């Protein structure tokens, strides 16, 4: 059969879930009248070493956040360059685009431009092979045994994602005791609504408004108070022992001059909540023993490989310590983390690195060393469901894509329901093996 080749690439500026512009790409291929579309997410809490999200910078238009330059790069540079290439050869197309950009962090053409094309081409490749996207991605990754992931629901927001004084950015519900993905989704939704009722009764109805990722932002300042809220909600929802807890501190946001300020958002900060790295290690170890915490993401600053290693040595046997800003889905930084034993897992964000092929390379490196991989959305999302297929394809065992609230979040969960239905009982739910799904 003749290969299906790229015949047209188009792009436009659309709005993400925060009302900011982002890039949407369309690819058409020979032998098909279908248009294959992808939309690129955007983060608010970003790592220093993330691939460059190209913005226009014109303050008079979208407050400088327009992406017309990235759109133009898709239409005028990337599209013509990959015209005629085989859509099933993801690696060759991604390499072509990376060579055209010629920079380490895609600052020339923009990671948002390159990723949009990469994802749209991947969908075209799946169609050309007449297989679902998750199946095509699985084959590109070397065909690991697929599992359904544990959904990690961000239900309490803090940090730069919320207007309260809570320093830590996210608190997760992890229904690892469910029997299936669909049951895990139900457990999460039930606990989410129970939590809402508790927050309303305790802090008032104004604390039940949702943040960028669908979680609540109650008037909480102490991280341990947030943990107690989750425990109460889990128990009242009837799921005690079936739902664990996760934390994303996003600690780079409150790190300054060697210290961590847990009251950094408070205009009346008196310095009483400033902690040393050693203090914070002790805090994490303490709460890990008092609460059913299974995951901690970015517990320290993005350059603190050594402090991450101290914590991992203490709790890594029973808690997954995940590097996000520490690694930026980049194999160069992941390799450094492996050498220093900084964490035991990597967060995978496709727009942090900027292409499908590089995302697969980072995943495969982690898998080869027995590390966990935690697939993630961004705070600025779209209705694109690519990461739902990706997490099943790579058998990562878990993903986070927000609370069971807001359509751009539920779009991913609903796609996972469709995948679960399509692949049936032959594909197990990761459950309590979400850190090591290859052992299932």
Q: What CA–CA distance (Å, rounded) separates 197 from 204?
A: 10
Residue 300 domain-assigned (yes or no): yes
Which CATH number goes with the domain that contains 11?
3.30.390.10
Q: Of 130, 162, 193, which closes a domain?
A: 130
Judge if 102 and 236 occupy the same domain: no
Residue 139 domain-assigned (yes or no): no
- Catalytic positions, written as ranges: 213, 349
Segments in the chain below pLDDT 70: 1-2, 45-47, 161
Contact 170, 247 (CB under 8 A): yes
* Domain total of the chain: 2
Q: In this predicted structure, what is the pLDDT of residue 47?
A: 67
Residue 145 domain-assigned (yes or no): no
* Backbone dihedral angles phi then psi of residue 317, each to the nearest 5 degrees: -70, -30
Judge if 294 and 377 occupy the same domain: yes
Judge if 125 and 154 occupy the same domain: no
Residue 102 domain-assigned (yes or no): yes
Residue span of the structural domain in which 198 resides:
150-439
Judge if 121 and 170 occupy the same domain: no
Judge if 215 and 78 occupy the same domain: no
Judge if 266 and 408 occupy the same domain: yes
Residue 119 domain-assigned (yes or no): yes
Q: What CA–CA distance (Å, rounded) separates 417 from 431?
A: 16
pLDDT tens readout for residues 316-335: 999 999 999 999 999 999 99
Q: In this predicted structure, what is the pLDDT of residue 426?
A: 82
Judge if 303 and 373 occupy the same domain: yes
Name the packing angle between helices 181-203 and 407-423 (round to 10°). 150
Walk across the sheet containing 255-256 and list its strands.
255-256, 259-261, 274-275
Rg (CA), the chain: 21
Judge if 186 and 92 occupy the same domain: no
Contact 25, 124 (CB under 8 A): no
pLDDT tens readout for residues 208-236: 989 889 999 998 889 999 999 999 999 99
Which CATH number goes with the domain that contains 223?
3.20.20.120
Q: Of 85, 102, 130, which closes a domain?
A: 130
Q: What CA–CA distance (Å, rounded) separates 416 from 421?
A: 8
Judge if 116 and 217 occupy the same domain: no
Residue 143 domain-assigned (yes or no): no
Judge if 427 and 369 occupy the same domain: yes
Judge if 23 and 75 occupy the same domain: yes
Judge if 304 and 390 occupy the same domain: yes
> Coil, strand or helix: which one is 148?
strand
């Amino acid at each position: 059969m003749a290969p299906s080749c790229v015949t047209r690439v188009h792009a436009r500026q659309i709005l993400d879930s925060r009302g900011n512009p982002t890039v949407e790409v369309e690819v058409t291929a020979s032998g098909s009248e279908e248009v294959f579309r992808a939309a690129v997410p955007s983060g608010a809490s970003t790592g220093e070493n993330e691939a460059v999200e190209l913005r226009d910078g014109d303050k008079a238009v979208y407050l400088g956040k327009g992406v017309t330059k990235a759109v133009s790069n898709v239409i005028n540079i990337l599209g013509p360059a990959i015209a005629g290439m085989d859509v099933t050869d993801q690696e060759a197309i991604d390499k072509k685009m990376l060579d055209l950009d010629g920079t380490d962090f895609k600052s020339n053409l923009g990671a948002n431009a390159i990723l949009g094309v990469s994802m749209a081409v991947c969908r075209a490749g799946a169609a050309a092979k007449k297989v679902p996207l998750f199946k095509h991605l699985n084959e590109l990754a070397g065909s690991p045994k697929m599992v359904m992931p544990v959904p990690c629901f961000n239900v309490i927001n803090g940090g730069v994602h919320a207007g309260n004084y809570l320093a830590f950015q996210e608190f997760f519900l992890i229904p690892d005791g469910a029997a299936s993905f669909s049951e895990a989704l139900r457990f999460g939704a039930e606990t989410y609504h129970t939590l809402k009722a508790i927050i309303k009764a305790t802090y008032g109805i104004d604390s039940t408004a949702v943040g960028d990722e669908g979680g609540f932002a109650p008037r909480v300042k102490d991280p341990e108070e947030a943990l107690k809220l989750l425990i109460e909600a889990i128990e009242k929802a009837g799921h005690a022992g079936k739902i664990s807890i996760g934390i994303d501190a996003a600690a780079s946001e409150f790190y300054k001059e060697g210290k961590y300020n847990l009251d950094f958002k408070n205009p009346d900060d008196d310095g009483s909540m400033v902690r040393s790295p050693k203090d914070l290690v002790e805090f994490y170890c303490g709460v890990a023993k008092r609460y059913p915490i299974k995951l901690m993401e970015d517990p320290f600053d993005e350059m603190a490989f050594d402090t991450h290693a101290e914590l991992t040595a203490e709790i890594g046997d029973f808690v997954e310590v995940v590097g996000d800003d520490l690694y930026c889905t980049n194999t160069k930084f992941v390799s450094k983390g492996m050498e220093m034993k900084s964490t035991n897992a990597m967060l995978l964000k496709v727009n942090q690195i900027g292409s499908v092929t590089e995302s697969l390379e980072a995943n495969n490196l982690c898998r080869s060393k027995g590390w966990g991989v935690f697939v993630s959305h961004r705070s600025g999302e779209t209705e694109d469901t690519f990461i739902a297929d990706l997490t099943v394809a790579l058998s990562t065992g878990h993903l986070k894509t927000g609370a069971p609230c807001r359509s751009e979040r539920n779009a991913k969960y609903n796609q996972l329901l469709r995948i679960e239905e399509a692949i049936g009982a032959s594909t197990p739910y990761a459950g309590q093996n979400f850190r090591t799904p290859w052992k299932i």
